[in-house]
C-alpha cells in the first residue's frame, strides 16, 4: 500500500488521528531505555578502610551498618534520553537475600560526592590504596558515613523489602531529571536501611555477578526519526523498515509524524503498534511527552503532536481539541 492509497483509505476531513495513531487497548508498554550500573560497591562500618568493589553482592544492613553505592554513567544517560522528556525513572536491583530481624525498609539517597568503585570505603569516597588497611584520602576525597556526609539527608525514595521479593524498585525520577538539567551532579545513589541500629536488611546482586543494578527510563515523545517524531519528508524518518513521514501538509498533524506501513505489530519498532496499516506510538498510562497530547478514542489511547491555537496549524486549518482540522 502506498501513501496515496493509505490517505484515500483513512484520511477524512484532514483528520487522521483516530485512524493513524491509535494503540491497541491494554497493550503492554516496553521500557524505553535501560542502563546497567557502571559502578557499584558496599561500604562497611566495621571495615572502615576496606573496599568491596569487586564483590558479587551489594549489602545493606542495620547492624553492623553496611550501605550500597551504585552509579550510572552520565554520558550514557544523556545519550539514552536524547531530546525526549523523562516521564519516570526507576532504580532497580535484583534481590539476593533478605534478613528481616528488625529492619526491612531501604532508602535510596542521592550521593553528593564523587566516588570510585575500587576506592570507596566507609571513610573515603576514593581511598587511593584501600588494601593497606589505613586511611589514604585527602580532605577532598573524604566523607563520613558515620556522620552522614557525602549524600543527601532526605531520601529520594524508600521501599519495603520482604522475603521472597526478587526485585526492588526505587522511584528516582526527580534525581534523573536533575542530573539531565545540570542542577545536580550525577554521583548515583546510596542505599541504606532506614532504621539502622537493629540488625537486618537486604543484599542485592552486584554488576560483578552478571546481574547489574538497572536504571529503567520511561520516555515521552520520540527520538529523532523514530515513530512519533516530527518530520517533513520520508528522509527524516528511519532506523526501521518501511519508514515514512505523514507530513503536516498531507495529514494535518502538527510538525508531521514518522511512521511505517505495516500489516501486524511484528513489523513495527518496539513500544509501537500496527494500527490500520501504520505504526503508532501509544500513550504511557495516559501520559505523553512535551509537545504531545494523549488522544483517547474510548477504546484506545495514542500520543499525537499537539496544537494549542490556530497559529500552530497550516493550510487554513483550525486547532480543535489539540488537533489541526479542516473547517467544514
Backbone angles phi, psi at 241, to 5 degrees: -70, 145
Residue 310 is given by DSSP the state: G
Q: Which residues contact 190 (CB under 8 A, 6 or more apart)?
A: 67, 68, 69, 108, 109, 111, 150, 151
Q: Which of 322, 304, 281 is nearest to 23 (CA)?
A: 281
Instruction: Look at residue 128 and tell me whether its pLDDT is greater than 50.
Output: yes
| Most confident segment among 16-20, 58-62, 254-258 | 58-62
Residue 251 to residues 10, 15, 60, 256: CA-CA distances in angstroms?
10, 7, 55, 8
Q: Which residue has the higher pLDDT, 56 or 320?
A: 56
What is the separation of C-alpha 183 from the centre of its chain, rounded to a whole number of angstroms? 18
Say whether pTM exceeds 0.75: no
% the chain with pLDDT above 90: 48
Instruction: Look at residue 14 and tell me whether its pLDDT is greater than 80.
Output: no
Where in the sequence of the chain do the CATH 2.60.120 domains occur? 33-219
CATH of domain 33-219: 2.60.120
Neighbours of 312 (CB within 10 A): 17
- Whether 262 and 279 have beta carbons less than 8 Å apart is answered as yes
Cis previous bond, 64, omega within 30: yes
Question: What percent helix, strand, coil does the chain show, rounded to 5?
Answer: 15, 35, 55
Question: What pLDDT was estimated at residue 102?
Answer: 56
Amino acid at each position: 500500500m502506498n501513501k496515496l492509497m493509505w490517505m484515500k483509505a483513512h484520511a477524512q476531513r484532514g483528520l487522521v488521528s483516530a485512524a493513524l495513531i491509535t494503540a491497541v487497548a491494554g497493550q503492554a508498554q516496553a521500557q524505553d531505555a535501560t542502563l546497567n550500573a557502571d559502578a557499584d560497591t558496599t561500604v562497611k562500618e566495621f571495615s572502615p578502610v576496606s573496599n568491596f568493589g569487586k564483590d558479587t553482592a551489594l549489602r545493606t544492613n542495620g547492624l553492623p551498618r553496611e550501605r550500597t553505592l551504585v552509579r550510572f554513567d552520565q554520558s550514557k544517560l544523556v545519550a539514552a534520553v536524547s531530546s525526549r522528556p523523562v516521564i519516570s525513572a526507576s532504580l532497580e536491583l535484583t534481590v539476593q537475600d533478605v534478613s528481616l530481624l528488625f529492619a526491612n525498609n531501604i532508602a535510596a539517597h542521592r550521593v553528593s560526592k564523587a566516588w570510585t568503585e575500587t576506592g570507596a570505603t566507609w571513610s573515603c569516597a576514593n581511598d587511593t590504596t584501600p588494601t593497606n588497611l589505613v586511611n589514604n584520602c585527602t580532605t577532598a576525597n573524604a566523607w563520613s558515613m558515620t556522620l552522614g556526609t557525602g549524600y543527601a539527608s532526605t531520601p529520594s525514595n524508600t521501599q519495603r523489602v520482604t522475603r521472597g521479593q526478587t526485585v526492588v524498585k526505587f522511584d528516582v525520577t526527580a534525581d534523573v531529571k536533575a542530573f539531565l538539567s545540570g542542577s545536580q551532579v550525577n554521583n548515583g545513589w546510596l542505599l541504606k536501611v532506614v532504621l539502622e541500629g537493629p540488625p537486618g536488611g537486604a543484599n542485592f546482586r552486584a554488576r560483578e555477578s552478571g546481574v547489574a543494578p538497572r536504571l529503567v527510563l520511561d520516555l515521552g515523545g520520540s527520538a529523532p526519526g523514530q515513530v512519533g517524531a516530527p518530520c517533513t519528508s520520508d528522509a527524516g524518518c528511519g532506523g526501521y523498515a518501511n519508514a515514512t513521514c505523514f507530513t503536516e501538509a498531507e495529514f494535518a498533524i502538527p510538525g508531521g509524524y514518522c511512521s511505517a506501513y505495516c500489516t501486524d505489530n511484528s513489523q513495527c519498532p518496539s513500544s509501537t503498534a500496527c494500527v490500520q496499516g501504520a505504526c503508532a506510538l501509544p500513550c504511557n498510562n495516559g501520559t505523553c511527552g512535551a509537545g504531545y497530547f494523549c488522544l483517547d478514542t474510548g477504546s484506545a489511547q495514542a500520543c499525537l503532536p499537539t496544537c494549542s491555537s490556530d497559529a500552530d496549524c497550516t493550510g487554513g486549518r483550525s486547532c480543535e481539541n489539540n488537533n489541526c482540522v479542516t473547517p467544514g
